[in-house]
Structure 1
Amino acid sequence: MNFSRHILATLSLIPAFHAMADTTSYPLTLTNCGMEVRFKSAPNSTVTVGQSATEILYALGLADRVAGTSVWFNPVLPEFSDVNADIERIADNDPSFEAVVNKKPDLVAAQYEWHVGPTGSVATRSQFHDLGIATYIMPADCDTKDNATGGDGTRIAAFSTESVYKGINELATIFDVQDAGEALVADLETQEASAIANAESLELPEDLSAVFWFSSPDQSVDPYVAGRLGAPGYMMDKLGIRNVIQSNEEWPVVGWESIAQADPDIIVVASMDRRRYPADDVDKKLEFLHSDPVAREMAAVKNGHIIEMDAHAMSATIRTIFGLEMLVDALSTMSFDR
């Protein structure tokens, strides 16, 4: 399935919304992830720290305002490959503070608070603000989430795609392109409703269970798997699937013995270009599942119920909706006779 076709359709609709959308009155003040941010005018130059912010700005028609990108998991959506090729990728993973500042941006747009937050791995928001550089963190990473717990944070309530739509609308307001924001959100809402309807039509067994494996520092050590309240939890909820991991942490570390004891019916493994850890490689994940004496005994492995999914879809982004579609398509081809 071409998951990006909807974005292309959205871009073609933008002119029709122009007369309907409001315009931004500057100076603009927003409360973003607990911090007040102020914009005297629409940013002319932005550095993105995270693929989610990058692709949303592209989808809003703002590629010409992006001076540099960083933190990539998967290839950019196909319709943005040409514009993305002309924009400097500062780093595949975390950029340095100096590398970001050297691009002289008006705005740093981040996907994760742990990159640009109170203890940011790139810098704190105050460090950027002291240089006159505004910051914006995607609400999907802080709404319903406590990032002060360390690691990837802990969800205090279930992720909702409303937080993704909120981020789109706020970025559209910051850049005074509300028409594009309205069109993009409307299209994604339609796509989400369609995916949920298709999920409901599958009539899966009521007691179906799953685990989402993102990565591991090494194949032989405990994996990072999805907690129950993040983006994978949203997908499983829409499909009526039980997550065998009941932690509220975004990506807790859980032992294979515990996962094997829960014996999930489905294993969803992340596919990514990133190579921070050996198990980032999806082929290494599959090799482990089929060769490890504990993992290979799980029902999902024996029955071939292993699904590959873009890692970026497992994060709280516009691609989460694409991930739901991907999951529905894969499950429609599987048999779960008990």
Structure 2
Amino acid sequence: MHRSRLRPRPRPRLRRPAAPRRTTAPAAACALVLLAGCGAEVTPEDDGARAGGGHYPVTVTNCGEERTFEAAPERVVTNDVGITEIMFALGLTDHMAGYVMRADHGEHADTPWAGEYGKAEWLGKESITKEIAVDAQADLVFAGWNYGFNEAEGLTPATLEKLGIDSYLLTESCRNGEGKARGVMSPLDALYTDLRNLGRIFDVEDRAEELVADFQARVAAVQDEAPEGADRPRVFLYDDGRDKPLTSGRFAGPHDIITKAGGDHVMADLEDSWVTVGWETVVERDPEVIVVNDYGDVSAEQKEEFLKSFAPLRNVSAIRNDRIVVLEYAELVESPRNPSAIERLGDYLREHG
């Protein structure tokens, strides 16, 4: 049985325009001291030290809303692996109060930022809650729609704002005005946007630009060697689901990972991020390669076994030719692991083209 598991290798609300929101880390911290009954005092001198050098205030646009920061947040709580590693990659571990994610999401031993996980506090394996943010004395929560923020769970930027806690939304998760559909730009542009925005918010713009330049160069190198035209294999991303598969539309990370690596993303016409489709659509589009998302309680091996035994797929090219590739969850959501996923998938597509 042929199967390829691509493992990481270490490498150095759209909404109506609103008036800029002015946020201060000290103000949020004070609100939390009152709420939680604990925490250190922030003096005017401390505030001045953080805001020194003329960098602040800074204003960034996040999911269509302008946000102004008077100082760099000091106690950030992140939700999920990709978001957490964006902070690590920018060298902002010291600005974190902790992170929330499943223990198996990080694949910590294989990430270039493995050491940072030991420096930041793991606050829990379930999704972030108001209680977690308050207990951590957070002044900012970095999460996203369906990456922690969810009206059904009662956690939104608006609910945190009432507690004196600011929010930054993962750009991949921005809602685009069509119900709860997500996505306002290409996935890699979303990553670069967040790196640059956070670079400004935390006064590490040079570091952000270095990362963006490195990622862009690596992606361009893969594209230079990628197949073109009719030689580009049709690729389908399978996340999970038996009755109907969960897959990626054009605004989730796999779209750019597939297309930059040299594949033709068969669900590129779906203007959303992570979406459910029918198996008949998969069969009709006949992918030549299937990328399996190694994520959740169902293992990648179990997912592959299901795909190969599922009768409606028996004549799909990827199944007939045994072209199934496994990528880690942390590589497929918006994260600094996206470029390395493009490199490895590019290697696979050239080898098995």
Question: Residue 187 of structure 1: which of 214, 227, 233 is its match?
Answer: 214
Are 1:263 and 2:286 an aligned pair?
yes
SS of 2:193's equivalent in the other structure is: helix
Residue in 2 that maps onto 1:82: 115
- Measured in 2, the distance between the counterparts of 1:258 and 1:311 equals 24
| Structure 1 unaligned spans of 5+ | 9-21
Which residue of the other structure, out of 225, 238, 243, is the alignment partner of 1:198?
A: 225
Partner of 1:16: none
1:207, distance to aligned residue in structure 2 (A): 6.3
Sort the Cα spacing of 1:313 and 1:324 in 2 relative to 1 into closer, same or farther, 3 A: same
Deviation at 1:234, TM superposition (A): 2.1
Q: CA deviation at 1:239?
A: 4.9
Per the TM alignment, residue 259 of structure 1 is displaced from its structure 2 partner at its CA by 1.5
Aligned to 2:165: 133
Q: Which amino acid aligns with 1:180?
A: R
Deviation at 1:117, TM superposition (A): 5.2
Aligned to 2:198, which of 171, 175, 182? 171
| In 2, Cα distance between equivalents of 1:130 and 1:49 | 19
Matching residue of 1:210: 235
Q: Does 1:31 align with 2:58?
A: no
| Compared CA separation, residues 88 and 284, structure 1 to 2 (3 A) | same
Cα distance in 2 for residues equivalent to 1:188 and 1:51: 18
Number of aligned residues: 305
Amino acid at match of 2:252: G
Supply the RMSD in Å over aligned alpha carbons.
2.7
> Shift of the alpha carbon at 1:147?
6.5
The alpha-carbon distance between structure 1 residues 228 and 65, as it changes in their structure 2 partners (threshold 3 A), is: closer
TM-score by length of 2: 0.77
Task: Name which of 245, 248, 255 aligns with 2:271.
Answer: 248
Provide the residue aligned with 2:43 in structure 1: none
Per-residue CA distance 1:79-130 (angstroms, 9 max, x = gap)? 32222034222233412221122100121111x2234658374612122222
Asked if the contact 1:155/1:249 (under 8 Å) is kept, the reply is: yes
2:329 alignment partner in structure 1: 311
Structure 2 counterpart of 1:65, one-letter code:
H
Cα deviation, 1:29-87, whole Å, max 9, x if unaligned, reads: 33321333332211111100132221111111111222211235342453322220342
Distance, in Å, in 2 between the alignment partners of 1:35 and 1:118 is 18
Deviation at 1:193, TM superposition (A): 1.5
2:259 matched to 1:237? yes
The residue correspondences of 1:275-314 to structure 2 (distance < 5 A) are 275=297, 278=298, 281-314=299-332
In the alignment, the residues of structure 2 paired with residue 235 and residue 82 of structure 1 have an alpha-carbon distance, to the nearest angstrom, of: 26
How far the C-alpha of 1:212 sits from its partner, in A, is 0.6
Report the 3-state secondary structure (helix = DSSP H, G, I; strand = E; otherwise coil) of the residue aligned with 1:332.
helix
Structure 2 residue aligned with 1:113, among 123, 137, 145?
A: 145
Q: Where does residue 44 of structure 2 map in the other structure?
A: none
Query: Which secondary structure does the structure 1 equivalent of 2:346 belong to?
Result: helix
Q: Which residue of 2 aligns with 1:329?
A: 347
TM-score (norm 1): 0.80
Aligned amino acid, residue 162 of structure 1: D
After TM superposition, give the deviation of residue 23 of structure 1 in Å. 6.1
- Residues 236-287 of structure 1: CA distance to partner in whole angstroms, max 9, x if unpaired? 3335533333322322212223322332111111113x32xx3xx2111111
5+ residue gaps in structure 2? 1-5, 13-51
Distance 1:42 1:24, change over 3 A: farther
Superposed displacement of residue 329, structure 1: 1.2
Letter in 2 for 1:98: E
User: Does 2:249 match 1:227?
Assistant: yes
CA contact (8 A) 2:195 2:212 kept: yes
**CA deviation string 1:108-165 (max 9, x = no partner):** 111x2234658374612122222222211122332xx526523xx2446x51523211
How far is 1:171 from its partner? 0.9
2:85–2:335 Cα contact (<8 Å) kept: no
- Cα gap change, 1:204 to 1:301, in 2 (>3 Å): farther
Sort the Cα spacing of 1:58 and 1:307 in 2 relative to 1 into closer, same or farther, 3 A.
same
Q: Which residue identity does 1:316 align to in structure 2?
A: E
Among 43, 46, 55, the residue aligned to 2:76: 46
Identity, % of aligned positions = 27
Q: Tell me, what secondary structure is at the counterpart of 1:67?
A: strand
